[in-house]
Amino acid sequence: MNIGLIGCGNIAPAYITGCAHFPADVRIIACADLDTERAQQFAAAHQLRAQSVADLLLNQEIDLVINLTLPAAHVAVSLQVVQAGKHVYSEKPLALTPSDARLILNVAAANDRRVGCAPDTFLGAGGQTARLAIDTGLIGDPVAASAFMVCHGHESWHPNPGFYYQLGGGPMFDMGPYYLTTLVNLLGPARRVTGASKRTFEQRIAAHETIKGQVLPVSVATHITGTVDFHGGAIATVVMSFDVWRHNLPVLEIYGTHGTLAVADPNTFGGPVRVWQAATGEWRDLQLEGRADIQRGVGVVDMARSIASGEPHRASGELAAHVVELMAAFEIASGSQQHVPIQSRPAAPAALRL
């Protein structure tokens, strides 16, 4: 399947590298960016054809477009792609509101096109090893889970950190997709959310040498905590924060009736994955299941294969829309002081056995 990229920013090279492992399935042939010079430089570096966005959407050779624009532009660009008669795979998040996420799915369906969305890290060896452990009853029935992504933000090191504190940023919409997608992969869809959120600092001060001292206004919640109830019965505790200096928290763990599963960082494709079982009373590392060379873009490859075979793809728009609804629900719950029921209920993505 021939693919075009819209958006030639920092994440774009990772898709080039990841897709290159599967030359029999996908071929990236063209790229576009609002910054014409950047598109031309990126095209020259990766042997692609640089085009305008309009020309790329008219390119009859291209079947699928990877949308790597800024989160605030994801909806508009994804709608353009499916209306142009092409499948779209978006970087996370799919949208900034549940209604916009649903709009993309509805317009795509009306045009008989598919929607895929990052993150696809859950398709890596770490995520699939954890899925196999749960599917085979290694820790019994899942009872609860914990997911913690806590740090003190990105202004101390990032050369352009302002986005992280504006609409579409914050710890939940920036990192939440990795953790919540992994939880849905392991536990199935969620049925309700409750939570609390706060904005601790009105502004941040950039420390990177190129913008040191620049004041960064903060307009989003920077500490979000809550619980997610899953249809399968498990309850997850979730904390996403840019307000924590240091901690000794686990990354992601699943607690079952017969043991505990320590899952790898959901922002990575590898391990380690560890299990503690009541029968043995000790921790052990699980042998990773899957290919070690899987990187960003594997969701695109799986989507291309699934389109060819007529089967559902795993990093789907429905899954991504469910995650958007979950992320939005934490702040809705905080403001309303009530549980927020989740309307969407996608099937958990099929396990990927490699």
pLDDT in tens, 149-201: 999 999 999 988 998 999 889 999 999 999 999 999 999 999 999 999 999 99
- Rounded-to-integer distance, Cα 141 and Cα 39, Å: 49
Mean local confidence (pLDDT), 280-308: 93
- What is the pLDDT, as a whole number, of residue 336? 95
Mean local confidence (pLDDT), 215-229: 97
Q: Name all domains of the chain by residue range, CATH numbers in brackets.
A: 2-117 (3.40.50.720), 122-290+321-341 (3.30.360.10)
- Rounded-to-integer distance, Cα 21 and Cα 28, Å: 12
- Rounded-to-integer distance, Cα 144 and Cα 5, Å: 39
- What is the pLDDT, as a whole number, of residue 354? 63
Least confident segment among 11-20, 46-55, 344-353: 344-353
Q: Chain-wide mean pLDDT for the chain?
A: 96
DSSP-derived secondary structure letter, 316: B
Least confident segment among 99-108, 123-132, 153-162, 323-332: 153-162
pLDDT above 90 coverage of the chain, percent: 94
- What is the pLDDT, as a whole number, of residue 292? 78
Does 290 have pLDDT greater than 90? no
- What is the pLDDT, as a whole number, of residue 160? 86
pLDDT above 70 coverage of the chain, percent: 100
What pTM did the predictor assign? 0.96
Please classify residue 25 by burial: count the beta carbons closer than 10 Å to its beta carbon, then call 0-12 exposed, 13-18 middle and 19+ buried.
middle
Does 87 have pLDDT greater than 70? yes
Does 94 have pLDDT greater than 90? yes
Positive/negative CA dihedral, 239, 240, 242, 246: positive
